[in-house]
Structure 1
Protein backbone atom coordinates (compact mmCIF):
# COMPACT_ATOMS: atom_id res chain seq x y z
CA UNK A 1 0.00 0.00 0.00
CA UNK A 2 1.39 3.40 -0.94
CA UNK A 3 2.09 6.23 1.44
CA UNK A 4 -0.80 8.13 -0.12
CA UNK A 5 -3.25 5.39 0.79
CA UNK A 6 -1.73 5.04 4.29
CA UNK A 7 -2.24 8.73 4.91
CA UNK A 8 -5.90 8.43 4.05
CA UNK A 9 -5.66 10.84 1.10
CA UNK A 10 -7.68 9.65 -1.91
CA UNK A 11 -5.72 9.97 -5.18
CA UNK A 12 -7.37 12.15 -7.82
CA UNK A 13 -9.72 10.38 -10.25
CA UNK A 14 -8.45 10.19 -13.80
CA UNK A 15 -10.16 9.89 -17.18
CA UNK A 16 -8.94 7.36 -19.74
CA UNK A 17 -9.36 8.33 -23.39
CA UNK A 18 -7.80 5.05 -24.52
CA UNK A 19 -8.76 1.89 -22.64
CA UNK A 20 -6.75 1.38 -19.42
CA UNK A 21 -4.57 4.45 -20.09
CA UNK A 22 -5.46 7.19 -17.60
CA UNK A 23 -4.75 10.61 -19.00
CA UNK A 24 -6.77 13.45 -17.49
CA UNK A 25 -7.96 14.40 -14.06
CA UNK A 26 -11.64 15.19 -13.58
CA UNK A 27 -10.72 18.87 -13.20
CA UNK A 28 -8.79 18.85 -16.48
CA UNK A 29 -11.62 17.03 -18.22
CA UNK A 30 -14.17 19.59 -17.05
CA UNK A 31 -11.94 22.39 -18.28
CA UNK A 32 -11.66 20.80 -21.73
CA UNK A 33 -15.41 20.26 -21.88
CA UNK A 34 -15.92 23.97 -21.32
CA UNK A 35 -13.12 25.32 -23.46
CA UNK A 36 -13.23 22.93 -26.43
CA UNK A 37 -16.98 23.00 -26.92
CA UNK A 38 -17.57 19.28 -26.43
CA UNK A 39 -19.98 19.52 -23.50
CA UNK A 40 -22.95 19.31 -25.88
CA UNK A 41 -21.70 16.06 -27.40
CA UNK A 42 -21.20 14.61 -23.92
CA UNK A 43 -24.69 15.67 -22.83
CA UNK A 44 -26.15 14.00 -25.94
CA UNK A 45 -24.18 10.86 -25.14
CA UNK A 46 -25.46 10.78 -21.57
CA UNK A 47 -29.08 10.94 -22.71
CA UNK A 48 -28.62 8.30 -25.41
CA UNK A 49 -26.85 6.04 -22.92
CA UNK A 50 -29.79 6.31 -20.50
CA UNK A 51 -32.24 5.51 -23.29
CA UNK A 52 -30.26 2.50 -24.50
CA UNK A 53 -30.08 1.12 -20.98
CA UNK A 54 -33.88 1.04 -20.77
CA UNK A 55 -34.22 -1.58 -23.51
CA UNK A 56 -33.59 -5.25 -22.79
CA UNK A 57 -32.75 -7.43 -25.79
CA UNK A 58 -32.53 -11.18 -26.20
CA UNK A 59 -29.04 -12.58 -26.58
CA UNK A 60 -29.73 -13.89 -30.08
CA UNK A 61 -30.85 -10.42 -31.17
CA UNK A 62 -27.67 -8.89 -29.79
CA UNK A 63 -25.51 -11.48 -31.55
CA UNK A 64 -27.28 -10.86 -34.85
CA UNK A 65 -26.75 -7.11 -34.59
CA UNK A 66 -23.12 -7.57 -33.59
CA UNK A 67 -22.50 -9.79 -36.60
CA UNK A 68 -24.10 -7.25 -38.93
CA UNK A 69 -22.01 -4.47 -37.36
CA UNK A 70 -18.79 -6.44 -37.82
CA UNK A 71 -19.66 -7.36 -41.42
CA UNK A 72 -20.10 -3.66 -42.17
CA UNK A 73 -16.60 -3.11 -40.72
CA UNK A 74 -15.14 -5.92 -42.83
CA UNK A 75 -14.47 -8.17 -39.81
CA UNK A 76 -15.22 -11.81 -40.65
CA UNK A 77 -13.13 -14.01 -38.35
CA UNK A 78 -12.01 -14.22 -34.73
CA UNK A 79 -8.42 -13.23 -35.48
CA UNK A 80 -9.50 -10.08 -37.29
CA UNK A 81 -11.96 -9.33 -34.50
CA UNK A 82 -9.28 -9.59 -31.83
CA UNK A 83 -6.96 -7.18 -33.63
CA UNK A 84 -9.80 -4.81 -34.46
CA UNK A 85 -10.96 -4.64 -30.84
CA UNK A 86 -7.40 -4.01 -29.70
CA UNK A 87 -6.99 -1.19 -32.21
CA UNK A 88 -10.27 0.35 -31.09
CA UNK A 89 -9.48 -0.15 -27.42
CA UNK A 90 -12.85 -1.86 -27.06
CA UNK A 91 -14.07 -4.81 -25.06
CA UNK A 92 -16.80 -7.17 -26.30
CA UNK A 93 -19.24 -5.22 -24.12
CA UNK A 94 -18.24 -2.05 -25.98
CA UNK A 95 -18.90 -3.80 -29.28
CA UNK A 96 -22.27 -5.00 -28.03
CA UNK A 97 -23.18 -1.48 -26.98
CA UNK A 98 -22.28 0.17 -30.29
CA UNK A 99 -23.87 -2.60 -32.37
CA UNK A 100 -27.19 -2.49 -30.52
CA UNK A 101 -27.50 1.18 -29.53
CA UNK A 102 -29.41 2.35 -32.60
CA UNK A 103 -31.92 -0.49 -32.31
CA UNK A 104 -32.38 0.13 -28.58
CA UNK A 105 -33.06 3.81 -29.22
CA UNK A 106 -35.48 2.92 -32.03
CA UNK A 107 -37.40 0.53 -29.78
CA UNK A 108 -37.56 3.06 -26.97
CA UNK A 109 -38.88 5.68 -29.40
CA UNK A 110 -41.46 3.23 -30.74
CA UNK A 111 -42.64 2.19 -27.28
CA UNK A 112 -42.97 5.78 -26.12
CA UNK A 113 -44.35 7.57 -29.17
CA UNK A 114 -46.02 5.14 -31.59
CA UNK A 115 -49.49 6.00 -30.28
CA UNK A 116 -48.83 9.72 -30.87
CA UNK A 117 -47.61 9.33 -34.45
CA UNK A 118 -51.01 9.97 -36.08
CA UNK A 119 -51.59 13.16 -34.08
CA UNK A 120 -48.11 14.39 -35.00
CA UNK A 121 -48.81 13.60 -38.65
CA UNK A 122 -52.07 15.58 -38.65
CA UNK A 123 -50.35 18.53 -36.97
CA UNK A 124 -47.55 18.48 -39.56
CA UNK A 125 -49.50 17.52 -42.66
CA UNK A 126 -49.28 20.91 -44.35
CA UNK A 127 -45.50 20.79 -43.98
CA UNK A 128 -45.39 17.20 -45.26
CA UNK A 129 -47.58 17.63 -48.34
CA UNK A 130 -45.59 18.22 -51.52
CA UNK A 131 -46.30 20.02 -54.76
CA UNK A 132 -44.80 20.71 -58.15
CA UNK A 133 -45.45 24.08 -59.73
CA UNK A 134 -44.30 26.24 -62.60
CA UNK A 135 -42.66 29.57 -61.79
CA UNK A 136 -41.70 32.57 -63.89
CA UNK A 137 -40.38 35.86 -62.51
CA UNK A 138 -39.64 39.20 -64.12
CA UNK A 139 -38.97 42.66 -62.76
CA UNK A 140 -41.57 44.47 -64.91
CA UNK A 141 -45.26 44.33 -63.98
CA UNK A 142 -46.52 45.07 -67.50
CA UNK A 143 -44.40 42.27 -68.93
CA UNK A 144 -45.71 39.89 -66.28
CA UNK A 145 -49.30 40.79 -67.17
CA UNK A 146 -48.60 40.30 -70.87
CA UNK A 147 -47.05 36.88 -70.26
CA UNK A 148 -50.01 35.96 -68.07
CA UNK A 149 -52.36 36.78 -70.93
CA UNK A 150 -50.31 34.67 -73.33
CA UNK A 151 -50.58 31.70 -70.99
CA UNK A 152 -54.32 32.17 -70.54
CA UNK A 153 -54.87 32.39 -74.28
CA UNK A 154 -52.50 29.45 -74.83
CA UNK A 155 -50.42 31.59 -77.18
CA UNK A 156 -47.27 30.23 -75.49
CA UNK A 157 -46.35 27.55 -72.98
CA UNK A 158 -44.71 28.00 -69.61
CA UNK A 159 -41.29 26.44 -70.46
CA UNK A 160 -40.77 28.65 -73.52
CA UNK A 161 -41.75 31.83 -71.65
CA UNK A 162 -39.42 30.94 -68.78
CA UNK A 163 -36.56 30.36 -71.22
CA UNK A 164 -37.20 33.69 -72.91
CA UNK A 165 -38.01 35.96 -69.98
CA UNK A 166 -37.49 34.51 -66.48
CA UNK A 167 -34.65 35.94 -64.39
CA UNK A 168 -34.37 33.33 -61.64
CA UNK A 169 -32.76 29.94 -61.13
CA UNK A 170 -35.95 28.32 -62.40
CA UNK A 171 -34.56 28.85 -65.91
CA UNK A 172 -32.43 25.75 -65.34
CA UNK A 173 -35.54 23.57 -64.96
CA UNK A 174 -37.66 25.45 -67.54
CA UNK A 175 -39.75 26.82 -64.69
CA UNK A 176 -40.66 23.52 -63.03
CA UNK A 177 -40.16 23.45 -59.25
CA UNK A 178 -40.47 20.35 -57.06
CA UNK A 179 -41.67 18.04 -55.83
CA UNK A 180 -41.12 20.25 -52.80
CA UNK A 181 -42.78 20.74 -49.42
CA UNK A 182 -45.93 22.82 -49.76
CA UNK A 183 -44.78 25.24 -47.08
CA UNK A 184 -41.39 25.92 -48.67
CA UNK A 185 -41.07 29.44 -50.02
CA UNK A 186 -42.36 32.95 -49.48
CA UNK A 187 -45.60 33.32 -47.55
CA UNK A 188 -47.39 34.86 -50.55
CA UNK A 189 -46.40 31.89 -52.70
CA UNK A 190 -47.35 29.30 -50.08
CA UNK A 191 -50.78 30.90 -49.53
CA UNK A 192 -51.60 30.56 -53.22
CA UNK A 193 -50.28 27.04 -53.62
CA UNK A 194 -52.20 25.88 -50.57
CA UNK A 195 -55.58 26.73 -52.14
CA UNK A 196 -54.69 26.02 -55.77
CA UNK A 197 -56.25 23.41 -58.00
CA UNK A 198 -53.95 21.53 -60.40
CA UNK A 199 -53.22 23.62 -63.50
CA UNK A 200 -54.54 26.76 -61.83
CA UNK A 201 -52.62 29.83 -63.05
CA UNK A 202 -52.40 32.81 -60.72
CA UNK A 203 -52.37 36.44 -61.90
CA UNK A 204 -49.01 38.17 -61.41
CA UNK A 205 -48.15 39.07 -57.82
CA UNK A 206 -45.13 40.80 -56.33
CA UNK A 207 -42.59 39.17 -54.02
CA UNK A 208 -39.36 40.88 -52.97
CA UNK A 209 -39.27 43.18 -55.99
CA UNK A 210 -40.14 40.46 -58.52
CA UNK A 211 -43.39 39.85 -60.37
CA UNK A 212 -44.25 36.16 -60.25
CA UNK A 213 -46.39 33.92 -62.41
CA UNK A 214 -47.23 30.64 -60.71
CA UNK A 215 -49.20 27.60 -61.82
CA UNK A 216 -49.77 24.54 -59.64
CA UNK A 217 -48.94 21.43 -61.62
CA UNK A 218 -49.52 18.57 -59.19
CA UNK A 219 -50.20 17.98 -55.52
CA UNK A 220 -48.77 15.03 -53.57
CA UNK A 221 -50.63 14.65 -50.26
CA UNK A 222 -48.57 13.03 -47.51
CA UNK A 223 -49.72 9.54 -46.52
CA UNK A 224 -49.49 7.99 -43.07
CA UNK A 225 -47.77 4.79 -44.23
CA UNK A 226 -45.23 2.78 -42.24
CA UNK A 227 -42.33 4.99 -43.31
CA UNK A 228 -44.21 8.16 -42.34
CA UNK A 229 -45.19 6.67 -38.97
CA UNK A 230 -41.55 5.90 -38.29
CA UNK A 231 -40.60 9.45 -39.26
CA UNK A 232 -43.23 10.92 -36.92
CA UNK A 233 -42.07 8.70 -34.05
CA UNK A 234 -38.49 9.84 -34.64
CA UNK A 235 -39.57 13.50 -34.71
CA UNK A 236 -41.33 13.11 -31.36
CA UNK A 237 -38.30 11.38 -29.88
CA UNK A 238 -35.99 14.13 -31.18
CA UNK A 239 -38.16 16.79 -29.51
CA UNK A 240 -37.89 14.95 -26.19
CA UNK A 241 -34.18 14.24 -26.72
CA UNK A 242 -33.34 17.90 -27.32
CA UNK A 243 -35.30 18.89 -24.20
CA UNK A 244 -33.27 16.44 -22.12
CA UNK A 245 -29.96 17.68 -23.54
CA UNK A 246 -30.99 21.28 -22.84
CA UNK A 247 -31.76 20.35 -19.22
CA UNK A 248 -28.31 18.81 -18.82
CA UNK A 249 -26.60 21.80 -20.40
CA UNK A 250 -28.47 24.08 -17.99
CA UNK A 251 -27.39 21.97 -14.99
CA UNK A 252 -30.92 20.81 -14.23
CA UNK A 253 -32.32 17.39 -13.39
CA UNK A 254 -33.33 15.10 -16.24
CA UNK A 255 -36.95 14.07 -16.64
CA UNK A 256 -37.69 10.44 -15.63
CA UNK A 257 -37.49 7.97 -18.49
CA UNK A 258 -40.70 6.29 -19.61
CA UNK A 259 -40.91 2.64 -18.60
CA UNK A 260 -41.04 0.34 -21.63
CA UNK A 261 -42.35 -3.18 -22.11
CA UNK A 262 -40.02 -6.13 -21.55
CA UNK A 263 -39.29 -8.28 -24.62
CA UNK A 264 -41.37 -11.40 -25.13
CA UNK A 265 -39.45 -14.68 -25.02
CA UNK A 266 -38.95 -16.00 -28.57
Structure 2
Protein backbone atom coordinates (compact mmCIF):
# COMPACT_ATOMS: atom_id res chain seq x y z
CA UNK A 1 0.00 0.00 0.00
CA UNK A 2 1.41 3.35 -1.06
CA UNK A 3 1.50 6.22 1.42
CA UNK A 4 -0.03 9.37 -0.07
CA UNK A 5 0.03 11.55 3.03
CA UNK A 6 1.95 11.66 6.28
CA UNK A 7 1.05 13.83 9.27
CA UNK A 8 3.75 13.47 11.91
CA UNK A 9 3.89 9.75 12.68
CA UNK A 10 0.58 8.92 10.99
CA UNK A 11 0.80 7.57 7.45
CA UNK A 12 -2.28 7.55 5.22
CA UNK A 13 -2.66 5.19 2.28
CA UNK A 14 -4.93 5.56 -0.73
CA UNK A 15 -7.28 2.94 0.71
CA UNK A 16 -7.64 4.90 3.96
CA UNK A 17 -8.33 8.35 2.55
CA UNK A 18 -12.07 7.88 1.84
CA UNK A 19 -12.90 6.50 5.32
CA UNK A 20 -10.89 9.35 6.84
CA UNK A 21 -12.83 11.94 4.85
CA UNK A 22 -16.05 10.31 6.00
CA UNK A 23 -14.91 10.31 9.64
CA UNK A 24 -14.23 14.04 9.50
CA UNK A 25 -17.49 14.68 7.59
CA UNK A 26 -15.50 16.04 4.64
CA UNK A 27 -16.63 13.51 2.05
CA UNK A 28 -19.86 15.32 1.05
CA UNK A 29 -17.88 18.54 0.53
CA UNK A 30 -15.30 16.72 -1.61
CA UNK A 31 -18.08 15.15 -3.68
CA UNK A 32 -19.79 18.54 -4.14
CA UNK A 33 -16.60 20.21 -5.34
CA UNK A 34 -15.77 17.37 -7.74
CA UNK A 35 -19.28 17.37 -9.19
CA UNK A 36 -19.12 21.14 -9.66
CA UNK A 37 -15.74 20.91 -11.39
CA UNK A 38 -17.08 18.29 -13.79
CA UNK A 39 -20.19 20.36 -14.51
CA UNK A 40 -18.35 23.61 -15.26
CA UNK A 41 -15.48 22.03 -17.22
CA UNK A 42 -17.02 22.84 -20.65
CA UNK A 43 -17.40 26.54 -19.78
CA UNK A 44 -14.65 29.06 -20.51
CA UNK A 45 -14.08 32.73 -19.78
CA UNK A 46 -13.03 35.44 -22.18
CA UNK A 47 -9.62 37.08 -21.66
CA UNK A 48 -11.39 40.16 -20.37
CA UNK A 49 -13.41 38.09 -17.89
CA UNK A 50 -10.28 36.29 -16.73
CA UNK A 51 -8.40 39.54 -16.19
CA UNK A 52 -11.24 40.98 -14.13
CA UNK A 53 -11.45 37.76 -12.10
CA UNK A 54 -7.70 37.83 -11.42
CA UNK A 55 -7.83 41.44 -10.27
CA UNK A 56 -10.66 40.65 -7.86
CA UNK A 57 -8.80 37.61 -6.56
CA UNK A 58 -5.54 39.52 -6.02
CA UNK A 59 -7.42 42.25 -4.19
CA UNK A 60 -9.20 39.72 -1.96
CA UNK A 61 -5.95 37.93 -1.13
CA UNK A 62 -4.04 41.23 -0.75
CA UNK A 63 -1.42 40.16 -3.31
CA UNK A 64 -0.01 43.43 -4.63
CA UNK A 65 3.22 42.33 -6.32
CA UNK A 66 4.28 39.48 -8.59
CA UNK A 67 6.65 38.27 -5.86
CA UNK A 68 3.76 38.01 -3.40
CA UNK A 69 1.73 36.07 -5.97
CA UNK A 70 4.54 33.61 -6.60
CA UNK A 71 5.04 33.13 -2.87
CA UNK A 72 1.32 32.46 -2.50
CA UNK A 73 1.60 29.75 -5.19
CA UNK A 74 4.58 28.11 -3.52
CA UNK A 75 2.97 28.12 -0.08
CA UNK A 76 -0.03 26.22 -1.45
CA UNK A 77 1.90 24.02 -3.88
CA UNK A 78 -0.34 25.19 -6.73
CA UNK A 79 0.42 25.57 -10.42
CA UNK A 80 -0.61 28.66 -12.43
CA UNK A 81 -3.23 26.53 -14.23
CA UNK A 82 -4.75 25.45 -10.91
CA UNK A 83 -4.93 29.07 -9.83
CA UNK A 84 -6.56 30.04 -13.13
CA UNK A 85 -9.29 27.44 -12.57
CA UNK A 86 -9.73 28.63 -9.00
CA UNK A 87 -9.93 32.30 -9.95
CA UNK A 88 -12.47 31.77 -12.74
CA UNK A 89 -14.50 29.09 -10.95
CA UNK A 90 -17.31 31.33 -9.71
CA UNK A 91 -17.83 32.86 -13.14
CA UNK A 92 -17.78 29.50 -14.91
CA UNK A 93 -20.24 28.16 -12.33
CA UNK A 94 -22.60 31.06 -13.04
CA UNK A 95 -22.38 30.32 -16.76
CA UNK A 96 -23.27 26.70 -16.03
CA UNK A 97 -26.31 27.79 -14.00
CA UNK A 98 -27.49 30.14 -16.74
CA UNK A 99 -27.13 27.51 -19.46
CA UNK A 100 -28.76 24.74 -17.41
CA UNK A 101 -31.83 26.53 -16.03
CA UNK A 102 -32.46 29.39 -18.44
CA UNK A 103 -35.68 27.77 -19.73
CA UNK A 104 -37.06 26.89 -16.28
CA UNK A 105 -36.89 30.21 -14.44
CA UNK A 106 -40.26 31.62 -15.51
CA UNK A 107 -42.17 28.54 -14.37
CA UNK A 108 -40.12 28.24 -11.18
CA UNK A 109 -40.72 31.91 -10.43
CA UNK A 110 -44.50 31.33 -10.50
CA UNK A 111 -44.08 28.52 -7.97
CA UNK A 112 -41.76 30.48 -5.66
CA UNK A 113 -43.39 33.92 -5.88
CA UNK A 114 -45.82 33.42 -2.95
CA UNK A 115 -42.84 32.73 -0.68
CA UNK A 116 -40.61 35.47 -2.15
CA UNK A 117 -43.10 38.33 -1.88
CA UNK A 118 -42.10 40.55 1.04
CA UNK A 119 -44.19 42.26 3.68
CA UNK A 120 -43.87 44.98 6.27
CA UNK A 121 -46.20 44.48 9.21
CA UNK A 122 -46.87 45.58 12.75
CA UNK A 123 -47.27 42.95 15.45
CA UNK A 124 -47.71 42.61 19.17
CA UNK A 125 -47.60 39.18 20.78
CA UNK A 126 -48.37 38.20 24.33
CA UNK A 127 -49.31 35.03 26.21
CA UNK A 128 -52.10 36.78 28.11
CA UNK A 129 -55.38 36.66 26.19
CA UNK A 130 -56.95 39.40 28.31
CA UNK A 131 -54.09 41.81 27.69
CA UNK A 132 -54.19 40.97 23.99
CA UNK A 133 -57.89 41.84 23.82
CA UNK A 134 -57.30 45.15 25.65
CA UNK A 135 -54.45 46.05 23.28
CA UNK A 136 -56.66 45.28 20.30
CA UNK A 137 -59.45 47.56 21.57
CA UNK A 138 -56.98 50.42 22.11
CA UNK A 139 -55.59 50.01 18.59
CA UNK A 140 -59.03 49.69 17.04
CA UNK A 141 -60.22 52.86 18.78
CA UNK A 142 -56.95 54.59 17.81
CA UNK A 143 -56.38 55.47 21.47
CA UNK A 144 -52.80 54.29 21.18
CA UNK A 145 -50.51 53.10 18.40
CA UNK A 146 -48.37 50.01 17.81
CA UNK A 147 -45.33 52.22 18.39
CA UNK A 148 -46.62 53.07 21.88
CA UNK A 149 -47.93 49.63 22.87
CA UNK A 150 -45.37 47.22 21.41
CA UNK A 151 -42.39 48.31 23.55
CA UNK A 152 -44.51 47.90 26.68
CA UNK A 153 -46.50 44.74 25.97
CA UNK A 154 -44.98 42.72 23.14
CA UNK A 155 -42.87 39.75 24.24
CA UNK A 156 -40.93 39.31 20.99
CA UNK A 157 -38.02 41.17 19.37
CA UNK A 158 -40.52 43.52 17.71
CA UNK A 159 -40.76 45.24 21.10
CA UNK A 160 -37.43 46.89 20.24
CA UNK A 161 -38.67 48.12 16.81
CA UNK A 162 -41.99 49.62 17.99
CA UNK A 163 -43.86 46.62 16.61
CA UNK A 164 -42.59 46.96 13.03
CA UNK A 165 -41.19 43.90 11.25
CA UNK A 166 -39.78 43.73 7.73
CA UNK A 167 -39.40 43.87 4.89
CA UNK A 168 -39.26 40.08 5.15
CA UNK A 169 -40.06 37.28 2.69
CA UNK A 170 -43.35 35.52 3.39
CA UNK A 171 -41.59 32.17 3.05
CA UNK A 172 -39.41 32.97 6.06
CA UNK A 173 -42.35 33.59 8.40
CA UNK A 174 -44.37 31.18 10.51
CA UNK A 175 -46.81 29.53 8.03
CA UNK A 176 -49.91 30.66 9.93
CA UNK A 177 -48.63 34.21 10.22
CA UNK A 178 -47.74 34.27 6.51
CA UNK A 179 -51.21 33.00 5.62
CA UNK A 180 -52.91 35.82 7.52
CA UNK A 181 -50.65 38.42 5.91
CA UNK A 182 -51.64 37.20 2.45
CA UNK A 183 -55.40 37.51 3.06
CA UNK A 184 -55.67 40.83 4.92
CA UNK A 185 -55.35 44.23 3.25
CA UNK A 186 -52.75 46.90 4.02
CA UNK A 187 -53.90 48.83 7.07
CA UNK A 188 -56.27 46.09 8.19
CA UNK A 189 -56.04 45.16 11.88
CA UNK A 190 -56.34 41.48 12.77
CA UNK A 191 -57.98 40.69 16.14
CA UNK A 192 -55.99 38.66 18.72
CA UNK A 193 -55.26 35.32 17.06
CA UNK A 194 -53.70 32.24 18.68
CA UNK A 195 -50.47 31.19 16.94
CA UNK A 196 -48.57 28.48 18.78
CA UNK A 197 -48.42 29.69 22.40
CA UNK A 198 -49.03 33.36 21.61
CA UNK A 199 -51.92 35.73 21.12
CA UNK A 200 -50.95 37.85 18.11
CA UNK A 201 -52.35 41.24 17.11
CA UNK A 202 -51.37 41.94 13.53
CA UNK A 203 -51.61 44.70 10.95
CA UNK A 204 -50.26 44.53 7.40
CA UNK A 205 -48.46 47.76 6.57
CA UNK A 206 -47.27 47.04 3.04
CA UNK A 207 -47.04 44.17 0.56
CA UNK A 208 -43.95 44.24 -1.65
CA UNK A 209 -44.45 41.84 -4.59
CA UNK A 210 -41.21 40.33 -5.88
CA UNK A 211 -40.16 41.15 -9.45
CA UNK A 212 -38.41 38.81 -11.86
CA UNK A 213 -35.33 41.01 -12.18
CA UNK A 214 -31.65 40.07 -12.47
CA UNK A 215 -31.24 39.62 -8.72
CA UNK A 216 -34.29 37.36 -8.46
CA UNK A 217 -33.14 35.34 -11.46
CA UNK A 218 -29.77 34.83 -9.77
CA UNK A 219 -31.49 33.70 -6.56
CA UNK A 220 -33.76 31.25 -8.40
CA UNK A 221 -30.88 29.82 -10.43
CA UNK A 222 -28.93 29.31 -7.23
CA UNK A 223 -31.87 27.54 -5.57
CA UNK A 224 -32.25 25.19 -8.55
CA UNK A 225 -28.51 24.58 -8.55
CA UNK A 226 -28.46 23.67 -4.85
CA UNK A 227 -31.32 21.21 -5.35
CA UNK A 228 -29.53 19.64 -8.31
CA UNK A 229 -26.23 19.48 -6.41
CA UNK A 230 -27.86 17.80 -3.43
CA UNK A 231 -29.36 15.15 -5.70
CA UNK A 232 -26.01 14.59 -7.39
CA UNK A 233 -24.18 14.17 -4.08
CA UNK A 234 -26.80 11.70 -2.83
CA UNK A 235 -26.55 9.71 -6.06
CA UNK A 236 -22.74 9.49 -6.09
CA UNK A 237 -22.14 8.99 -2.35
CA UNK A 238 -20.09 5.79 -2.20
CA UNK A 239 -21.56 4.85 1.19
CA UNK A 240 -25.20 4.93 0.06
CA UNK A 241 -25.10 1.30 -1.00
CA UNK A 242 -23.17 0.04 2.02
Q: Same fold (TM over 0.5)?
A: yes
Contact map agreement 1:198 1:217 (CA 8 A) in 2: yes
User: The residue matched to 1:81 in structure 2 has which SS?
Assistant: helix
Instruction: Compare CA radii of gyration and give the structure with the larger one.
Output: 1
Distance (Å, rounded) in 2 between the aligned partners of 1:182 and 1:14: 54
- Structure 1 residue 218 corresponds to structure 2 residue 214: no
- Structure 1 residue 187 corresponds to structure 2 residue 157: no
Instruction: State the aligned residue count.
Output: 237
- Structure 1 residue 104 corresponds to structure 2 residue 85: no
Deviations 1:96-138 (A, max 9, x none): 1111111111101111112211211111111101111111123
Alignment of 1:1-266 (within 5 A): 12-15=1-4, 24-250=12-238
Contact map agreement 1:132 1:177 (CA 8 A) in 2: yes
User: Is the alpha carbon distance of 1:219 and 1:26 closer, same or farther for their aligned partners in structure 2, counting shifts above 3 Å?
Assistant: same
Distance (Å, rounded) in 1 between the aligned partners of 2:106 and 2:99: 14
Contact map agreement 1:66 1:95 (CA 8 A) in 2: no
Distance (Å, rounded) in 1 between the aligned partners of 2:107 and 2:42: 25
User: The residue matched to 2:189 in structure 1 has which SS?
Assistant: coil
Deviation at 1:60, TM superposition (A): 4.9
Normalising to structure 1: TM-score of the pair? 0.81
Normalising to structure 2: TM-score of the pair? 0.88
Distance (Å, rounded) in 2 between the aligned partners of 1:102 and 1:134: 40
Deviation at 1:250, TM superposition (A): 4.7
Deviations 1:44-90 (A, max 9, x none): 12101102212133445434423432233222333222222111111
Gaps of 5+ in 2: none
Distance (Å, rounded) in 2 between the aligned partners of 1:231 and 1:183: 14
Distance (Å, rounded) in 1 between the aligned partners of 2:74 and 2:183: 61
Gaps of 5+ in 1: 1-11, 253-266
Distance (Å, rounded) in 2 between the aligned partners of 1:63 and 1:24: 39
Deviations 1:157-211 (A, max 9, x none): 1221223322333211111111111233333322211111111001111122322
Distance (Å, rounded) in 2 between the aligned partners of 1:132 and 1:17: 57
